[in-house]
Structure 1
Amino acid sequence: MAQHDGRPALLTTQRVRLRQWRQADRPLFAAMNADAEVMAHFPAPLTRAESDTLVDRCAAEIEAQGWGFWAAEHADSGVFMGMVGLHAVHASLPFAPCVEVGWRLARPWWGQGLATEAASAALTWGFDALGLPEVVAFTAQSNQRSRGVMLRLGMQAAGTFEHPLLPADSRLREHVLFRLPAAAWRERAETTPHPRKA
């Protein structure tokens, strides 16, 4: 994996900016994480304390290594939309070690291709700046919306697995796994504009 220069990355596309977290993001992120529809494919909505802990963890990871799950904002208006980025897969998962791409946007931003656009920027940066050989994505079997984003990113379905961090009787325990090798991404990138770096 390529070495990063230590500065937190800032990625921009035509409509999205991925950046380090700010204090002002916290109440907006907490409201999003308390939305039952946004959290329908997670075990439960998050409390404010749980949401703030997640922000702390994401911000610390970006500060330490230059990348992670970034705060996502609308590039023109600066309005906070959610989080998008890259994250080292939990060691307990059967396909670890590797890096995942993930996203979570507030409902007003759904259905506009923003998750795909932002995740594409994160993938390009991961493959180009970090030299990742592959990136994965996974979600609950029932999450058709996220599976659609994975397909639009050019990721390939790679089977299912039982998520070990969820109870055996959880309706969400069965997950789908998607993979995207660097070579496949670069083939697609020949006809796809790269995100601007700032």
Structure 2
Amino acid sequence: MKPLETERLILRPFTEEDAAGLYAYASHPEVGPWAGWKPHADEAESLRVIREIFLPSDTLAVIRKSDGRLIGSAGFVGKHRTELGTPSEEVGYSLARDCWGQGLIPEAVEAILRHSFADLGYAAIWAAYYDGNRKSKRVMQKCGMTYRLSRVEPVEQLNETRLAHYFAITRREWEVR
């Protein structure tokens, strides 16, 4: 995915040099478990995530313009649903704990929606959150996504199952916003 810019953020592809910045926020015990992954144990794990997960899936580094700090991730997770037309993609995101509640991830997701519909021609963009993650649900609602379905899913990294709630927005719904 190409770099995107908002008022407060730059969203750009991850590089291996981002491992320290990713580790700085992904090691916090409150960040990963809500999204279904364990806190990163060290920079080597963060580098592996960049190489094996973020780069192949078009997940972007979320950089705060005011200080150049890597504060999160947002982008496609490589999952495609067909219920609302194709092409479609699922977006995922994470954010440094000290940046919660500032509207930064909705700002990033809005940029991804605009790029997805206006530039890439997607029919729908999906997102999912695990039961109880009200902050993630709120991001989806702020971005105009609406509830579509729920299902119990395996959370492999945590060796458990959870109830996942799926929200989506179609290109037509995005255009009339």
TM-score range, shorter chain: 0.7 to 0.9
Structure 1 counterpart of 2:126: 136
Q: Which amino acid aligns with 1:47?
A: A
What amino acid is the match of 2:56? E
- Structure 2 residue corresponding to 1:84, chosen from 59, 74, 84: 74
The one-letter code sitting in structure 2 at the alignment partner of 1:51 is: S
Check whether the contact 2:63–2:69 (CA below 8 A) recurs between aligned residues.
Answer: yes
Contact 1:133 1:182 in 2 (8 A): yes
Deviation of the 1:73 alpha carbon: 0.3
2:33 aligns to what SS in structure 1?
coil
Cα-to-partner distance string for 1:122-158 (whole Å, 9 max, x where unaligned): 1110111111100100011111110010000010011
2:41 to 21, 29, 47: 47
Conservation of the 8 A alpha-carbon contact between 1:58 and 1:70: no
Identity across matched positions, percent: 28
Structure 2 counterpart of 1:148: 138
Task: Point out the structure with the larger strand share.
Answer: 2
State which structure, 1 or 2, has the greater radius of gyration over its C-alpha atoms. 1
Match of 2:6 in 1: 13
Alignment match, 1:182: 171
Distance 1:97 1:132 in 2: 5
Q: Distance in 2 between matches of 1:97 and 1:131?
A: 8
Contact 1:161/1:174 (CA < 8 Å) preserved in 2? Answer: yes
Q: Which has the higher contact order (CA 8 A, sep 6+)?
A: 1
Asked if the contact 1:12–1:75 (Cα under 8 Å) also holds between the matched residues in 2, the reply is no
Q: Secondary structure of the residue that 1:70 maps to in structure 2?
A: strand
Q: Structure 2: where are the runs of 5+ without partners?
A: none
Counterpart-to-counterpart distance in 1, 2:91 and 2:31: 18
Q: Is the 8 A contact 1:18 1:71 kept in 2?
A: yes
- What is the aligned partner in structure 2 of residue 162 from structure 1? 152
Equivalents in 2 of 1:124, 1:57: separation in Å? Answer: 26
Q: Please list, as runs of the form range in 1=range in 2, the aligned pairs for 1:87-106 lying within 5 A after superposition.
A: 87-89=77-79, 98-106=88-96
CA RMSD of aligned residues (A): 2.6
Q: Secondary structure at the match of 1:81?
A: strand
Q: Is residue 61 of structure 2 the alignment partner of residue 71 of structure 1?
A: yes
**One-letter amino acid of the structure 2 residue matched with residue 34 of structure 1:** S
CA–CA distance in structure 2, aligned partners of residues 101 and 177 of structure 1: 11
Structure 1 consecutive aligned stretches of length 4 or more whose deviation exceeds 4 Å: 94-97
Change (3 A) 1:12 1:58: farther
Q: What's the TM-score, normalizing by structure 2?
A: 0.86
TM-score (norm 1): 0.77
Does residue 25 of structure 2 align to residue 32 of structure 1? yes
Q: Which has the higher helix share?
A: 2
Q: How many residues align?
A: 172
